[in-house]
Structure 1
Amino acid sequence: MKFHNRQAPPAGFQLAPMIDVVFLLLIFFIVTYQLSDYETELDVSVPTAEEGSTKTRSYLEEVVNVRSDGTIIMERQSYTLEQLYQKMKRLAAVNADQPIRIRGDAETQYQDIVDVIDHCRKGGIRNISFATQKKKSEQTQGQ
């Protein structure tokens, strides 16, 4: 009796779907990078510090900008303290460890920053950080 050795043809590597996936990932990262810069308020001059540095944003981090006159800006919209509290409450309901970065202007009164922190904590936010930058002389020496 003669047996036939039937083997399947060797599987080929499909390159077109791989290229599609790579392009989709590239587009995703470009779009999310653009959105992360969208939240920084240009009218806020962040204070300097000896140990200040520009940290990369953590995943899902929200930025709260406090202008020198005490105006609270988040996602390019102005918020009252009560609206900020409601927003923080919603964010904390979705993510218990929601990171918040406060970008206070160097000329902002300390009480305005404390009010923002207080309303964030009332809303259930515990992961709060502050934005600072290195002093100008250190920035130019490093470049």
Structure 2
Amino acid sequence: MPLKRTTSDDPLQLNLTPMIDVVFLLLIFFMTATQFAQVERAVELELPTVGSDGTSVAAVEEERVVSVSAEGVVTLDGVPRSIDELKADLQAAKEASTAIDGPAVLIHGDSRCDFQHVAAALTACRAAGIANVGVSVETSDTIRR
């Protein structure tokens, strides 16, 4: 008794194009995310710690990062600046901004630095006309005293 063999002329093929597209999109995403994270890692800071009640994080389209190190060195997006240069750069950024309120500024102040340096950066933001200013802190359930 002869057995039937089902064979097809075309072997089964797997379409890899969608999988390759997904891999490329993931690659682009991670490359871009790494570039944005490098600005914040350029300066070694120990952020102040606050309680987790009442804290919120808002997403913004245009954000400038001002870092104040423990020694009082002020950087704008990883580039060291004096307070006068910071004010001038922020004024230029506000004029070039497409947002109504101008760019958002996030200040990373090291918890070991004098508050005077952070206050000077806040004053430079106010003098430049920046309305959207935030101060970065670490949140925890218990506050160190």
Q: Residue 124 of structure 2 corresponds to which residue in structure 1?
A: 119
Higher deviation after alignment, 106-115 or 56-65: 56-65
- SS in structure 2 opposite 1:46? coil
**Could you tell me the TM-score, scaled by structure 1's length?**
0.70
Give, in whole Å, the separation in 1 of the partners of 2:130 and 2:45: 22
Residue identity matched to 1:132? V
Which of 80, 83, 88 matches 2:82?
80
Higher helix share: 1
The two structures, once aligned, show a CA RMSD in angstroms of 2.8
Task: Quote how far apart the aligned CAs of 1:99 are.
Answer: 0.7
Q: What pairs with 1:122-137 in structure 2 (closer than 5 Å)?
A: 122-135=127-140
Q: 1:56 to 1:28 in 2, by over 3 A?
A: farther
- State whether residues 43 and 67 of structure 2, in contact with CA within 8 Å, keep that contact through their aligned partners in structure 1: no
Question: Percent identity, aligned pairs only?
Answer: 18
Query: Number of paired residues?
Result: 124
Give, in whole Å, the separation in 1 of the partners of 2:37 and 2:62: 13
Task: Quote how far apart the aligned CAs of 1:39 are.
Answer: 1.4
Task: Quote how far apart the aligned CAs of 1:134 are.
Answer: 2.1
- State whether residues 38 and 75 of structure 1, in contact with CA within 8 Å, keep that contact through their aligned partners in structure 2: no
Task: Quote how far apart the aligned CAs of 1:76 are.
Answer: 2.3
Give, in whole Å, the separation in 1 of the partners of 2:123 and 2:28: 35
Task: Quote how far apart the aligned CAs of 1:115 are.
Answer: 0.7
Task: Quote how far apart the aligned CAs of 1:108 are.
Answer: 1.6
Give, in whole Å, the separation in 1 of the partners of 2:134 and 2:56: 12
Q: What pairs with 1:1-143 in structure 2 (closer than 5 Å)?
A: 25-40=25-40, 41-51=42-52, 55=57, 58-95=60-97, 96-135=101-140
Q: Is there any run of 5+ residues in structure 1 with no aligned partner, and where?
A: 1-14, 139-143
Give, in whole Å, the separation in 1 of the partners of 2:68 and 2:59: 18
**Could you tell me the TM-score, scaled by structure 2's length?**
0.69
- State whether residues 65 and 107 of structure 2, in contact with CA within 8 Å, keep that contact through their aligned partners in structure 1: yes
Give, in whole Å, the separation in 2 of the partners of 1:46 and 1:137: 15
Residue identity matched to 1:82? D
- SS in structure 2 opposite 1:39? helix
Q: 1:54 to 1:107 in 2, by over 3 A?
A: farther
Residue identity matched to 1:63? V
Residues 20-61 of structure 1, C-alpha deviation per residue, up to 9 Å, x if partnerless? 875664444323311221111442100000127694753221
